[in-house]
């Protein structure tokens, strides 16, 4: 019998290596582990990766006291910080502020945390108290008089209330909070820099933010400060323990469902019947329909999936012939063996192909798969191959045929090459970044970013070291579309001549998308409630604006910043957005933490099909931790995973196409494309890192369909 309660540990880690997804940015966040009721061992959640991160703090110039949130809404976590310790200095702000936006690394300052402490609020919710520090772990000054406070319903999402300020300047070390039921008040305890035990009392800890709480010596504290557990004392590598609390079995199940591994626990196919009175072709057709029967897969969290089955052809043919000839008697049951279909794609799928896009499309009714990506030869995505920049396209009848292993690279077609002109007559000489395939206005389209040779000077008048060479900062989002013949049929996408001349995508009145830095990239499409939107990256963040698919080269509304990197895990950049709608929710993935081995995939969501304004940052909810990060997949480390795109395989299953970093013995060699299937958890979260034997346990791969003649 399983226990009714479980023990939950919170901790940070001592940073080790980036190659282990445990640099300072990740180590200095709150991790969680549950104690096994069977072995007593502590089992880290989320692969020993952080779950609660300190949010960035906006500088004073981004503060708007008239706004209900107190700062720009595109920075949702930092928006809840209290006036008492909202800002990090008084530095000049960026030009982005004039456009109602913030610039990562300029207008907001990243933070980390130490000494996390879990506690219960009076209403049963969870509270988190921690010491806020500068990114990397150095003191940021707040520890002199304050601590970080957040609350959570179930520890899968957090409401960051801000800093609780105490009337002291003597230091607040290892803050702890507990609710005193007898006195109906919260007791805050800590040690100052001299080791003296101190406390503060308040009736409502959530209302303490924005006030200064009086302090006093703690009369109930032991004279000597309890020793901190040694690093790794709980059997978790590099763990710096916070504290342990008790959670219910139901609460533990929620944490396990979200942060544990989900694995296949069974597979079945329902029994079928066959009309014994059928003869000839009618009987054969009925048996052929049985050949399309799918398997129902079950998983450890209660989720399910449906997969096609490759049924034994000889058994089906024999059944069809017996049925056609009338040799099947009513009541007879025939067993047809089969195997659950599982495509395990080559790793890597495509070498030195970054920002990949796989698109399932019908070429005048013919099913077709297209693959397009950034050429990232040797990590040079601006001017690769000695100045021979190109846009490589692969076309095949199956996803597997697109891979390098199946000869996909040898069959690439260059849709564009260095020197091709855009609609303005400008020579596109570099980049061809992040091409994405979409159908816009009924036409197959490619959204991408070319760049041009740089001028002698930068916009600020300084000499340009990319003068006369491809300059990424000149890059702008473009669109090119497949032409149709006189009868409205699509021309062959494999012929570069069948595509329109690339046009730059412009704002209202023909304005440049990014007036702050010029560069705009990583454009994608969102279609919701009859409205069409572009989402893209500029100013280190994700922006969105409406457009008319009949005139896709110009926006119909002003751009809005909706995703700002504000945690140490998505630091300094949010890019590569791509959206998918599932059961009433828009899942918009994006990538952060700069290109390289620290790259991660974040997630924001919004209601789908309800007519919400997707240009309003308040419509989007951001996940507190990455949806995908570096980790072990099928026994091998994959570092720097990100810039993904949703797509579908031949059976209609959702797949995720992304890149990871080539990295061997300290050398970064560019990015390779990968393809995986997506699993939906019982709570409705997309799982992007399900391994092959977790998706389908080999023990359940073989199955039998029983067909009874009636």
SS3 letters across 499-529: ECCCEECECHHHCCCCCCCCCCEEEEEEEEC
294, 578, 589, 642 from 603: Cα distances, Å: 31, 10, 5, 11
Structure tokens at 334: 């025939």
638-677: pLDDT as tens digits: 999 999 999 999 999 999 999 999 998 788 889 999 999 9
Phi/psi at 512 (5° precision) = -65, 145
Query: How far is Cα 538 from Cα 287, in angstroms, rounded to an integer?
Result: 56
Query: How far is Cα 372 from Cα 503, in angstroms, rounded to an integer?
Result: 18
Instruction: Report yes or no: 470 and 383 within 8 Å, Cβ to Cβ.
Output: yes
Element (DSSP H or E) covering residue 34 = strand 31-35
Sign of the four-CA dihedral 97, 554, 542, 514: negative
DSSP class of residue 484 equals B
4-36: pLDDT as tens digits: 999 999 999 999 999 999 999 999 999 999 999
281-305: pLDDT as tens digits: 999 999 999 999 999 999 999 999 9
Query: How far is Cα 609 from Cα 586, in angstroms, rounded to an integer?
Result: 9
219, 660, 695, 696 from 699: Cα distances, Å: 61, 30, 12, 8
Strands 702-709 vs 272-274: parallel, antiparallel or unpaired: parallel
pLDDT for position 99 = 87
Sign of the four-CA dihedral 253, 255, 258, 260: negative
| Spacing of C-alpha 290 from chain mean position | 38
Going by pLDDT thresholds of 50, 70 and 90, the confidence category of residue 82 is: very low
Query: How far is Cα 556 from Cα 238, in angstroms, rounded to an integer?
Result: 52
| pLDDT of 415 over the 70 cut | yes
Phi-psi group of 242: left, alpha or beta (phi > 0 → left; psi -120 to 50 → alpha; rest → beta): alpha
- Name which of 440, 306, 261, 350 is nearest 657 in CA terms: 350
Per-state percent for the chain, helix, strand, coil, to nearest 5: 15, 45, 45
116-167: pLDDT as tens digits: 999 999 999 999 999 999 999 999 999 999 999 999 999 999 999 999 999 9
Residue range(s) in the chain whose domain bears CATH number 2.115.10.20? 353-677
DSSP string, 436-459: EEEEETTEEEEEEEEEEEB-SB-T
32-54: pLDDT as tens digits: 999 999 999 999 999 999 999 99
Neighbours of 134 (CB within 10 A): 17
Structure tokens at 417: 């090459």
Largest CA distance in the chain: 94
453-471: pLDDT as tens digits: 999 998 888 999 999 999 9
| pLDDT of 71 over the 60 cut | no
- Find the DSSP H helices in 64-149: none
Query: How far is Cα 400 from Cα 396, in angstroms, rounded to an integer?
Result: 9
| pLDDT of 73 over the 60 cut | no
99 bridge partner residues: none
Going by pLDDT thresholds of 50, 70 and 90, the confidence category of residue 332 is: very high
Going by pLDDT thresholds of 50, 70 and 90, the confidence category of residue 64 is: very low
What burial class does residue 530 get, using C-beta atoms within 10 Å of its C-beta: 0-12 exposed, 13-18 middle, 19+ buried? exposed
| pLDDT of 77 over the 50 cut | yes
The CATH classification of domain 353-677, taken from the options 1.10.238.10, 2.115.10.20, 3.40.50.620, 1.10.357.10 = 2.115.10.20
Query: How far is Cα 50 from Cα 239, in angstroms, rounded to an integer?
Result: 11
pLDDT for position 93 = 80
Structure tokens at 697: 């346990």
Structure tokens at 148: 């970080």
pLDDT for position 444 = 98
| pLDDT of 560 over the 90 cut | yes
Neighbours of 453 (CB within 10 A): 17
Query: How far is Cα 133 from Cα 173, in angstroms, rounded to an integer?
Result: 12
* Three-class SS state of 124: coil
| pLDDT of 633 over the 50 cut | yes
pLDDT for position 90 = 62
pLDDT for position 72 = 47
- Name which of 612, 664, 577, 630 is nearest 22 in CA terms: 630
pLDDT for position 65 = 42
Average pLDDT of the segment spanning 575-592: 97
Query: How far is Cα 535 from Cα 71, in angstroms, rounded to an integer?
Result: 22
Average pLDDT of the segment spanning 338-360: 96
Going by pLDDT thresholds of 50, 70 and 90, the confidence category of residue 60 is: low
Any idea what the Cα angle at residue 79 is, between residues 78 and 82, rounded to 5°?
A: 85
What burial class does residue 437 get, using C-beta atoms within 10 Å of its C-beta: 0-12 exposed, 13-18 middle, 19+ buried? buried
Query: How far is Cα 131 from Cα 586, in angstroms, rounded to an integer?
Result: 35
Instruction: Report yes or no: 315 and 705 within 8 Å, Cβ to Cβ.
Output: no
Query: How far is Cα 122 from Cα 126, in angstroms, rounded to an integer?
Result: 9
pLDDT for position 69 = 37
Strands 111-120 vs 600-607: parallel, antiparallel or unpaired: unpaired
| pLDDT of 83 over the 80 cut | no
Average pLDDT of the segment spanning 589-594: 94
pLDDT for position 85 = 45
Query: How far is Cα 175 from Cα 196, in angstroms, rounded to an integer?
Result: 13
Buried-exposed string 622-643: b where 16+ CB fall within 10 A, e elsewhere? bbbbbbbbbbebeeeebbbbbb
504 bridge partner residues: 478
Query: How far is Cα 232 from Cα 118, in angstroms, rounded to an integer?
Result: 19
Any idea what the Cα angle at residue 434 is, between residues 430 and 440, rounded to 5°?
A: 115
Percentage with pLDDT > 90 across the chain: 87
* Three-class SS state of 227: coil
Query: How far is Cα 577 from Cα 541, in angstroms, rounded to an integer?
Result: 10
Buried-exposed string 73-92: b where 16+ CB fall within 10 A, e elsewhere? bbbbbbbbbbebbbbbeeee
């Amino acid at each position: 019998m399983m226990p009714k309660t479980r023990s939950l540990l919170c901790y940070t880690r001592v940073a080790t290596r980036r190659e282990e997804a445990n640099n300072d940015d990740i180590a200095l966040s709150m991790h969680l582990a549950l104690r096994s009721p069977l072995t007593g061992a502590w089992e880290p959640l989320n692969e020993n990766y952080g779950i609660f991160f300190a949010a960035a703090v906006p500088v004073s110039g981004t503060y708007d006291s008239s706004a209900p949130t107190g700062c720009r809404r595109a920075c949702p976590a930092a928006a809840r910080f209290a006036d008492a310790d909202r800002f990090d200095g008084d530095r000049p702000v960026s030009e982005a502020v004039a456009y109602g936006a913030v610039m990562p690394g300029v207008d907001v300052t990243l933070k980390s945390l130490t000494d996390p402490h879990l506690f219960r609020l009076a209403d049963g919710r969870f509270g988190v108290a921690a010491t806020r520090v500068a990114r990397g772990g150095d003191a940021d000054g707040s520890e002199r008089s304050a601590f970080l406070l957040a609350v959570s319903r179930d520890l899968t999402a957090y409401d960051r209330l801000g800093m609780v300020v105490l009337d002291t300047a003597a230091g607040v070390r290892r803050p702890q909070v507990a609710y005193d039921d007898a006195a109906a008040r919260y007791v805050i305890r800590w040690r100052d820099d001299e080791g003296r035990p101190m406390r503060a009392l308040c009736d409502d800890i959530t209302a303490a933010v924005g006030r200064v709480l009086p302090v006093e010596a703690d009369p109930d504290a032991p004279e000597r400060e309890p020793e901190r557990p040694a690093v790794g004392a709980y059997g978790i590598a590099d763990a710096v323990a916070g504290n342990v609390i008790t959670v219910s079995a139901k609460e533990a199940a929620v944490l396990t469902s979200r942060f544990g591994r989900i694995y296949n626990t069974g597979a079945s196919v329902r029994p079928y019947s066959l009309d014994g009175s059928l003869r000839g072709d009618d009987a054969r057709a009925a048996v052929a329909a049985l050949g399309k029967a799918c398997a129902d897969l079950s998983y450890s969290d209660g989720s399910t999936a449906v997969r096609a089955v490759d049924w034994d052809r000889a058994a089906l043919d024999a059944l069809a012939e017996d049925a056609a000839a009338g040799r099947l008697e009513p009541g007879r049951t025939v067993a047809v063996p089969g195997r659950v279909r599982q495509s395990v794609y080559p790793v890597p799928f495509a070498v030195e192909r970054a920002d990949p896009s796989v698109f399932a499309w019908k070429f005048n009714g013919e099913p077709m798969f297209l693959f397009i990506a950034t050429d990232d030869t040797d990590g040079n995505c601006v001017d690769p191959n000695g100045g021979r920049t190109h846009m490589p396209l692969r076309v095949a009848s199956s996803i597997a045929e697109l891979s390098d292993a199946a000869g996909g690279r040898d069959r690439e077609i260059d849709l564009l090459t260095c020197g091709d002109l855009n609609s303005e007559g400008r020579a596109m000489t570099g980049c061809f970044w992040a091409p994405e395939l979409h159908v816009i206005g009924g036409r197959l389209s490619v959204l991408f970013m070319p760049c041009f040779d740089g001028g002698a000077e930068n916009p600020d008048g300084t000499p340009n070291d990319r003068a006369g060479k491809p300059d990424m900062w000149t890059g702008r989002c473009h669109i090119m579309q497949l032409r149709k013949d006189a009868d409205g049929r699509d021309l062959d996408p494999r012929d570069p001549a069948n595509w329109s001349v690339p046009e730059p995508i412009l704002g209202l009145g023909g304005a440049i998308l990014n007036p702050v830095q010029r560069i705009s990239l990583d454009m994608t499409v969102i279609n919701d409630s009859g409205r069409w939107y572009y989402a893209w990256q500029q100013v280190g963040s994700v922006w969105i604006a409406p457009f008319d698919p009949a005139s896709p080269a110009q926006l119909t509304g002003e751009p809005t910043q909706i995703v700002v990197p504000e945690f140490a895990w998505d630091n300094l950049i949010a890019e590569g957005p791509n959206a998918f709608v599932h059961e009433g929710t828009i899942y918009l993935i994006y990538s952060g933490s700069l290109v390289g081995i620290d790259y991660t995939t974040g997630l924001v969501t919004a209601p789908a099909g309800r007519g919400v304004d997707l240009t309003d940052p308040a419509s989007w909810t951001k996940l507190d931790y990455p949806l995908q990060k570096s980790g072990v997949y099928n026994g091998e480390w994959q570092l720097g995973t990100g810039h993904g795109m949703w797509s579908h395989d031949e059976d209609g299953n959702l797949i995720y196409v992304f890149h990871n970093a080539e990295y061997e013995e300290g050398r970064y060699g560019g990015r390779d494309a990968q393809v995986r299937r997506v699993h939906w958890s019982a709570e409705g979260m997309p799982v992007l890192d399900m391994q092959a034997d977790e998706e389908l346990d080999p023990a359940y791969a073989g199955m039998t369909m029983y067909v009874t003649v009636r």
